[in-house]
Structure 1
Amino acid sequence: MKRGLEAAAAAFQFLSRFPVKSGGDFSPELLQRSTVYYPLVGLAIAAVVWPAAYLSALLLPPFPAAVLVLMLWVWLTGGLHLDGWMDSADALLSYRSRERMLEIMKDSRVGAMGVIACVLLLLLKVSLIYTVIDEKLWSTALLLPLLWSRWFMVAALSGWPKARQGEGLAGQFHTLRGREAGLAALLAAMLSVLLALLNPAVLMSPFMAAFLVIPVLSWIIGKWTAQRISQRLGGLTGDVYGALNELLEALLLLAVVLLHRLLL
């Protein structure tokens, strides 16, 4: 029990700004055990973001409410994944050699492509939050994208080689295997079932399909993207894991909005 709590606390400390304390030493062994709880961190962030969106919508017009909610969303993650998104965009969209792309990712400065990619991503997210607020698409399915995007980070950590063996943040997870990804998937599935049960109206509607589609989409989109990037870099890096999370968050939320329009 103590080891599990320590690992869960490490996951929250690593991926979020939640005030969680742990006696862990952030050793590679603890970091690897903590990956099992990544979906729980995603759910916790979503459980703050969407109630905040609902409350903001009671006081403000949809657009300023959406912007404030996005600010909260970014703050809760500490911008960790956005940083990876920008660095990955700078490198992968430079169309340079593998070695040069890895050097660009290590550079602390942000280039033009990183800024453009960040602006476009944030515009997509704020437009989706606006749509949720404006059309009152409230459902526990909104929590799924943040949950399953973080599960795929665990799948990517264990399923593809590291571009820099033993180097950088990704090097801390170099011995991670499929067991952690399987346990994270089991936790994500259990949490998804719980979310469906908490929203009985969804169980009796066609929108129940979202609880099946989102996990499948997270795997299909994530696998295709990770495979393409791995082919170019010879593996994945810490920045790429963050970029995968940002991409999946946005596209899975887009899928939830589309499914709501198509099915209800």
Structure 2
Amino acid sequence: MDFFRALSFLTLLPCPSPETPPEELGRSCPCFPLAGLLIGGLLAAAMTGLGFVLPPLPSAAFVVILWAFITRGLHLDGLADTFDGIGGGWDAPSRLAIMKDSRLGTFGGIALAGALLAKAALLAGLGSGEGLKALLVAPVAGRWAMLPAMYFFPAARPGGMGDLFKKGCSGRGLAAGTLIALLAASGLGGLRGAAAVLTAAIVSLAVSRQLTRLLGGLTGDSYGAVCELSELGALVLFALALPL
């Protein structure tokens, strides 16, 4: 049942999910990598189909649009809000206030456009073989990357979405999610897949540490930023010409 809770929260895919009290949402965090695996499978299938009728760049562009649609732009919204806050505020309270504003600002727009363009460019440059592996692994790594951010770093707003997820993410949940992510990523992408999860871990910890310094803790938007930047890190890892 936790898997369906995670899938219902992280995607717009129809699934049997009971009404979940907000304070219990964090209990589904070990299943975040599984939700990422399903997202990756759908994206890889779409990339394969589009590859029969379109060149690599248009195929990648449409897949990135589908990626945003399937996930309701949830983490992209968090990325944009986070960059608006850290770019427009001068201290933690002002940054948090800007992040709560639903309007898209200049810094958020730049981050949003940059993330979408980078994903499309990286996928188009990878080719069909490595590109499909990257599509399967990156959503797993990105959604797993939120778990260490939840577990190791404080929440910026008591009672906020970030705080609710942090309270529900236990050490056992982090361990289970890590095992799932490593098995899925290495099974689908071999050593490069496992390295992508390690890359996501480095990005997650580095971004979370910096955001904690700037905001006094993490928010739900911060977790979205961690997910998006970790996905990009995983895609970059696949694009690097490393002997893995």
TM range (shorter): over 0.9
Unpaired runs of 5+ residues, structure 1, are 1-5, 197-207
Among 144, 161, 167, which residue is 2:137 paired with?
144
Partner of 2:88, secondary structure, is coil
In the alignment, does 2:11 pair up with 1:31?
no
For the residues of structure 2 that align with 1:105 and 1:247, how far apart are their CA atoms?
Answer: 17
Superposed counterparts of 1:46-125, under 5 Å: 46-125=40-119
State whether residues 186 and 194 of structure 2, in contact with CA within 8 Å, keep that contact through their aligned partners in structure 1.
no
Structure possessing the higher radius of gyration over alpha carbons: 1
Residues 172-191 of structure 1 deviation map (CA, whole Å, 9 limit, x = unaligned) = 22423322111111221222
Superposed counterparts of 1:1-264, under 5 Å: 6-22=1-17, 24-133=18-127, 136-138=129-131, 140-167=133-160, 169-176=161-168, 177-195=170-188, 208-258=190-240, 261-263=241-243
Which runs of at least 4 in structure 1 moved beyond 4 Å after TM superposition?
none
- Counterpart amino acid of 1:109? R
Residues 94 and 213 of structure 1: CA distance in aligned 2, closer, same or farther (over 3 Å): same
- Counterpart amino acid of 1:96? W
Residues 8-17 or 184-193, more deviating: 184-193
- Counterpart amino acid of 2:195? V
Q: Please state how far the C-alpha of 1:254 moved relative to its aligned partner.
A: 1.1
For the residues of structure 2 that align with 1:251 and 1:174, how far apart are their CA atoms?
Answer: 23
Partner of 1:129, secondary structure, is helix
CA RMSD in angstroms comes to 1.8
Residues 138 and 120 of structure 1: CA distance in aligned 2, closer, same or farther (over 3 Å): closer
- Give the total of aligned pairs: 243
Partner of 1:26, secondary structure, is coil
Q: Please state how far the C-alpha of 1:162 moved relative to its aligned partner.
A: 0.3
Unpaired runs of 5+ residues, structure 2, are none
